[in-house]
Amino acid sequence: MKRIIFSLILLLAGSFAMAQEPPVKKSKVVKATEKINQQTQKANEVSNEVVNQSQQAANNVKQVLNNAKTVISIFEPILRFRLKKNRATADTDIPVQSNSVTTEDPAVAAPPTPPYDDPAVYATQTDIAQGVPLVAEGPAYNTDGTANLGSQNNKKFGCYIDVAQGFVMDEVDAAGNARSIDLIFTATNAFNEQVPMYAFLTPSYVKNDAAAYNFFKGTKYKDRNIPPAEWEEVNESEVAMTSLTGQQFEKIQNNNQLMAVVKQVKGFGQKVESRVKLDGKVIAVKTEMGDRTAYGLIYIMNHYGTTGDNGYLKIKIKVTGFDQNGDGIPDGAVYQNIP
């Protein structure tokens, strides 16, 4: 027994001695290797971060380029098609067609002809702001970028309008361009002799609804014999009144803004009616343009007259911009091919 106890004492003493031995020191080579490994790991982490940031930057640049193609400026057809810079102020000498519309002042040069994408030819809002001399295509257009849209009774301005091209038409023009007419403006007291009815009508409504002729009743039309009834083809556009102000209309500068506004408008249909004058109102239009659906806004700056021969609206137009070359600027030539 004594021998066993003595053996245990020796075993415990040996274990205690081993526990008290100092730890083995790392050699300089091991320490240097560990330090190099740590530095290498940090370098890899920094390198990976740089790669990730570079990739993110590249993606951001790519996104910006994509946005440049999708955020297209709105198209203002009156400026592009109905106003031209005076040839005397243009940078290039552009020939004038012999059938160009002349102005009341023979001293003013006739408007130049297409191309509509040449900045030396078509007018811009900047030109108007800077007072650049401009020439209107005819009496229905003003050099401040507006057009005069008459009622069906007006003797000077037509009541039919092609919104995409800013083209105000009378009965003669409309007969040859019925497919491109988007809206018809009428003013009548046929529904109430004391309270006029002002309305924007779609061509499909006027042609196909048996009671639509009532909106035309006035000094010029007194029965069912109205021009749209004889049109073979009509545009199936839609129209709605918006709550936009003129200031909000002016702020819209690109397709994204225009489409967002129009898509929020409720109550699109075949006509818009009002028992009060339309000063300051903004009308929304959806119209088929070839194989595309386009959006448009008409800002009524002023409403002159009532239901007589002199009633008309002074309007501005903004429509969807179509961009062929990806520069973010609408290409006027596209609109010339719209049926």
- pLDDT tens per residue, range 121-132: 889 899 999 999
What pLDDT, on a 0 to 100 scale, did the predictor assign at position 150? 98
Nearest Cα to 208, choosing from 189, 191, 223, 226? 226
Q: Percent of the chain beyond pLDDT 90?
A: 57
Domain definitions of the chain by residue range: 25-70, 77-336
Helix (H), strand (E) at residue 197: strand 197-201
* DSSP result, 286-335: EEEETTEEEEEEEEEEEEE-SSSTT-EEEEEEEE----SSSSSS--HHHH
Average pLDDT score over the chain: 81
Model confidence at 10, in pLDDT bands (50, 70, 90)? low
| Residue 161 phi, psi dihedral angles, 5° rounding | -140, 135
Distance from C-alpha of 143 to C-alpha of 123, rounded to nearest angstrom? 9
- pLDDT tens per residue, range 206-256: 999 999 999 999 999 999 999 999 999 898 899 999 999 999 999 999 999
What pLDDT, on a 0 to 100 scale, did the predictor assign at position 338? 60
What pLDDT, on a 0 to 100 scale, did the predictor assign at position 285? 96
* DSSP result, 181-193: --EEEEEE-SS-S
Between residues 221 and 95, the one the model is more confident about: 221
What pLDDT, on a 0 to 100 scale, did the predictor assign at position 75? 96
- Residue 116 CB partners (closer than 8 Å, separation 6+): 80, 81, 122, 332, 333, 335, 336
Position 258 pLDDT exceeds 90: yes
What pLDDT, on a 0 to 100 scale, did the predictor assign at position 128? 93
Distance from C-alpha of 198 to C-alpha of 271, rounded to nearest angstrom? 10
Between residues 108 and 278, the one the model is more confident about: 278
Q: Percent of the chain beyond pLDDT 70?
A: 69
- pLDDT tens per residue, range 276-309: 999 999 999 998 766 667 899 999 999 999 999 9
Between residues 197 and 12, the one the model is more confident about: 197
Between residues 22 and 240, the one the model is more confident about: 240
Number of H helices, E strands in the chain: 9, 12
Lowest mean pLDDT among 83-97, 159-173, 223-237: 83-97
What pLDDT, on a 0 to 100 scale, did the predictor assign at position 226? 95
What pLDDT, on a 0 to 100 scale, did the predictor assign at position 69? 47
Model confidence at 98, in pLDDT bands (50, 70, 90)? very low
